[in-house]
């Protein structure tokens, strides 16, 4: 009896807590979202700034897109004069802070475009967070020699 | 009054010496801002295939200031960023940039065919040339400049990454290595040093 009451109150507590605690995606705002498009079907890098207005840190765990077969969260790094790229499980967005995916650092690697993506196109990516929540964001496709999102950058910037 | 003829003689001698040596630039080293590697590395030498599918060697670029970078086209982040930066550098050099060539040497010859490289380099700059070739020939060039690359294990879908040196080597019109650029250096300094090499008109 006592234990089932405890379980019930625990469940109620959890339900209340989850009702008060919104999903990670609800606290995230994406800006400066862009893709560097390379010729042919070469993989492309996607970049975005994620701002978290919540009291809890959240973690970006990856993304998916109907425009590309595979999307992976990667990080470029420099060690002893060598440039390397490694896959990462997640990227933390601190409470009331930002995480920046930018060239030569964290980026989403987009592989095997299902149809050619041209500069000027808008590509939808579904950003995934470690609590399972998702956030759709619009990425502007930019030419190979672009150095940033350019004017009128996507994702509600 | 008395010392005037002496001064004239000295000037004449100096001019004669300059002519004999074939250029006064030899006397004063160019004031480079990047790491000066003059005399510390062997002259440019390779035998590879350009992005038009033609065999080329260092001799084909004699007379051009060469900016040499090792990379691969399936690299979605750092390589295109570097190439975009080099394009900015070339733009800032204005008409002088026509005297320079960016040589993008693939460290992934298995995937980087001349056709793939052609589309790739031209997406960045008209003065960029893609070079590929036999793995042994690429390795020889990489080793010549104490550069390195490693093919990382492939993932399930067969795709793989290549870790590679991030340095950029700048050669003068005679194919002699002059400065080394690393990602920690500023593009302003690269523009400055290329400007020196391109405007000096000298071959050394």
The residue range of the domain holding A70 is: 25-142
Domain for residue A112, yes or no?
Answer: yes
The residue range of the domain holding B111 is: 25-199
Size of interface A-B (CB pairs under 8 A): 86
Domain for residue B115, yes or no?
Answer: yes
Domain for residue A67, yes or no?
Answer: yes
**pTM score:** 0.84
Domain for residue A150, yes or no?
Answer: no
Domain for residue B6, yes or no?
Answer: no
Domain for residue B18, yes or no?
Answer: no
- Give contacts of B148 with chain A, Cβ < 8 Å: 82
pLDDT in tens, A72-119: 999 999 888 888 888 999 999 999 999 999 999 999 999 999 999 999
* B149 alpha carbon, distance to own chain's centre: 18
Identify which of A146, A141, A145, A143 has the alpha carbon closest to the alpha carbon of residue A154: A141
Rounded to 5 degrees, what are φ and ψ at A12?
-60, -45
pLDDT in tens, B38-47: 999 999 999 9
Domain for residue B3, yes or no?
Answer: no
- Which of A109, A110, A144 shows the shortest C-beta gap to B123? A144
- Which of A83, A110, A147 shows the shortest C-beta gap to B78? A83
Domain for residue B12, yes or no?
Answer: no
Percentage of the residues of chain A whose pLDDT score is greater than 70? 82
* Angle at alpha carbon of residue B151, lines to B148 and B155, rounded to 5°: 155
Q: How many structural domains are present in chain B?
A: 1
Domain for residue A109, yes or no?
Answer: yes
pLDDT in tens, A24-66: 999 999 999 999 999 999 999 999 999 999 999 999 999 999 9
- Give contacts of B163 with chain A, Cβ < 8 Å: 82-85
Q: How many structural domains are present in chain A?
A: 1
Domain CATH number, residue A32: 2.60.40.1890
Q: What's the whole-number mean pLDDT along residues B7-15?
A: 50
Cβ A109–B80 below 8 Å, yes or no?
no
Domain for residue B133, yes or no?
Answer: yes
Q: Is B89 helix (H, G, I), strand (E, B) or coil?
A: helix
Categorize the per-residue pLDDT at B2 as very low, low, confident or very high, splitting at 50, 70 and 90: very low
Categorize the per-residue pLDDT at A21 as very low, low, confident or very high, splitting at 50, 70 and 90: low
> How close B124 gets to chain A, by Cα (Å)?
5
Prediction ipTM score = 0.82
- Give contacts of B182 with chain A, Cβ < 8 Å: 81
Domain for residue B174, yes or no?
Answer: yes
Q: Which of residues 120-139 of A touch B (CB under 8 A)?
A: none
Domain for residue A5, yes or no?
Answer: no
């Amino acid at each position: 009896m006592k234990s089932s009451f405890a379980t019930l109150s625990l469940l109620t507590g959890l339900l209340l807590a989850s009702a008060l605690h919104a999903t990670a995606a609800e606290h995230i705002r994406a800006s400066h979202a862009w893709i560097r498009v390379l010729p042919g079907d070469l993989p492309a890098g996607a970049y975005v700034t994620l701002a978290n207005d919540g009291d809890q840190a959240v973690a970006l765990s990856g993304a998916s897109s109907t425009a590309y077969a595979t999307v992976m969260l990667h990080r470029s790094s420099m060690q002893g004069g060598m440039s390397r790229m490694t896959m990462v499980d997640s990227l933390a967005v601190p409470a009331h802070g930002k995480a920046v995916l930018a060239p030569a650092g964290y980026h989403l690697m987009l592989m095997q475009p299902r149809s050619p993506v041209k500069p000027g196109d808008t590509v939808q990516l579904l950003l995934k967070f470690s609590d399972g929540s998702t956030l759709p964001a619009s990425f502007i496709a930019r030419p190979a020699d672009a150095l940033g999102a350019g004017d009128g950058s996507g994702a509600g910037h | 009054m008395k010392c005037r003829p002496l001064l004239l003689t000295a000037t004449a001698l100096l001019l004669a010496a300059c002519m004999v040596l074939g250029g006064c630039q030899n006397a004063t080293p160019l004031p480079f801002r990047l790491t000066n590697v003059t005399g510390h590395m062997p002259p440019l030498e390779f035998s590879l295939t350009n992005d038009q599918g033609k065999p080329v060697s260092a001799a084909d670029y004699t007379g051009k200031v060469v900016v040499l970078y090792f990379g691969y086209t399936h690299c979605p982040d750092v390589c295109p960023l570097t190439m975009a930066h080099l394009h900015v550098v070339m733009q800032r050099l204005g008409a002088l940039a026509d005297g320079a060539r960016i040589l993008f040497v693939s460290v992934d010859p298995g995937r980087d065919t001349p056709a793939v490289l052609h589309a790739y380099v031209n997406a960045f700059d008209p003065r960029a040339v893609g070079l590929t070739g036999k793995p042994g020939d690429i390795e020889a060039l990489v080793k010549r400049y104490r550069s390195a690359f490693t093919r990382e294990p492939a993932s399930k879908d067969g795709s793989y990454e290549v870790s590679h040196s991030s340095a950029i080597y700048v050669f003068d019109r005679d194919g002699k290595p002059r400065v080394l650029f690393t990602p920690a250096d500023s593009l302003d300094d690269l523009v400055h040093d290329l400007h020196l090499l391109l405007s000096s008109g000298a071959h050394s």
